[in-house]
Amino acid sequence: MRTTVTLDPDVARAVERLRRERGLGLSAALNEIARAGLLEAPRGARFEQATSEMRARIDVTNVGDVSELLDEAAGS
């Protein structure tokens, strides 16, 4: 696949360094760096949301009561 990309300066330096060290062309160096990044990425890593107990100070089981309480607090 042929495409145009813009490399950040640090990535461009890494590509140039790899080209010089191994005598690679630009495409080969980019592909090697991309593959190395893919291998380092955790596969199947599952996202877990950190939670904590809030311990509500009001009973929020009745929406109507909560709405009234909020309206009173807002001065409406």
Separation between Cα atoms, residue 36 and residue 40, nearest integer Å? 6
CB 64 within 8 A of CB 72: no
Q: Go through the chain and tell me how many residues it has.
A: 76
Q: What is the pLDDT of residues 26-65, one digit of tens each?
A: 999 999 999 998 887 666 777 788 888 877 777 778 888 8
CB-based contacts of 14: which residues, under 8 Å, 6+ apart?
33
| Mean pLDDT confidence for 63-70 | 85
